[in-house]
Amino acid sequence: MRHAAIHWKTNNAPGVVIVDGQIKEWPSALGAKPTEAQISTWESEYQFYKDAADAAEEARIAAKIQAIADNLPSWAQVEAAVDNIGSLADAKVFLKKLARVTYWLARDQQN
């Protein structure tokens, strides 16, 4: 996390080289090389940022899943739609709607 925190805090400035958690190269354009105390603060800030970003992404996915669920027809409506498929064109329309739900759910799953 130390490596990520330093690069996050410096906005991925070129010339910052970190090896085994230690700053090996620090561009003078960034000012004085940070102290251990500063880096520790950056790590805390980065963890807070990362936790907030992760929570926001989880909330976004949950909201999308809920929106899909809220807009799904009842099982009786689905069953009636399947029973009323009378042609290949009707089947294609139904399968596209089903595939859209599957696609959105699968797209947002984290591995």
The verdict on 51 and 102 lying in the same domain is no
Whether residue 105 is contained in a domain is answered as yes
Whether residue 63 is contained in a domain is answered as no
First to last CA, the chain: 20
Q: What domain range includes position 89?
A: 72-111
Whether residue 14 is contained in a domain is answered as yes
Asked whether the predicted pLDDT for residue 6 surpasses 70, the reply is yes
Whether residue 67 is contained in a domain is answered as no
Counting the structural domains of the chain, the total is: 2
The verdict on 42 and 10 lying in the same domain is yes
51-80 b/e (C-beta count within 10 Å ≥ 16 → b): eeeeeeeeeebeeeeeeeeeeeeeeeeeee
List, for residues 84-94, the tens digit of each pLDDT value.
888 888 888 88
Sign of CA dihedral 1, 43, 52, 13: negative
Asked whether the predicted pLDDT for residue 73 surpasses 90, the reply is no
The verdict on 47 and 91 lying in the same domain is no
List, for residues 9-28, the tens digit of each pLDDT value.
988 889 999 998 889 999 98
Average pLDDT for 66-76: 84
Give the residue with greater pLDDT, 33 vs 81. Answer: 33
